[in-house]
Amino acid sequence: MRAFNYFSSLLLLLVVVPCMASDDYVSEVKLGDNVTIVRPGNVTKLCPYPDCRQGQHVTRVPKGTVLKVEGMMNVRYGDSTMKWLETIYKDKRGWISIYDTDQAK
């Protein structure tokens, strides 16, 4: 029973807590602003639409890449909201999470 409680707590931390992020933790980004990818390596996904799932991304964007914000969309996750930024990387248009950029506080 203890193992189940431990596993349940771990699952809560890994799944629910990251979804509790809100716009309170992001800078005010405007169309035409530049953002820099801050996630390590090639972790950041360029998605064909906001919040794409694993394997649905267009390409990956390396850390340090500077991108111009072409559009924005807020996506609701229960009681929280995540901001997604539309951009173009290597002639491919797509969406990145603001939390992959230097605009997250």
Tokens of 46: 């360029």
Q: Give the pLDDT confidence score for residue 15 in this predicted structure.
A: 41
Task: Parse the chain into domains and list their residue ranges.
Answer: 22-100
CATH class of 22-100: mainly beta
pLDDT digits (tens, 9 = 90+) for 10-56: 433 344 444 444 444 456 889 999 999 999 988 999 999 998 888 89
Lowest mean pLDDT among 13-22, 54-63, 78-87: 13-22
Identify the residue with better confidence: 11 or 92: 92
Residue 45 exposed, middle or buried by CB count within 10 Å (0-12, 13-18, 19+): buried
d(CA 7, CA 4): 5
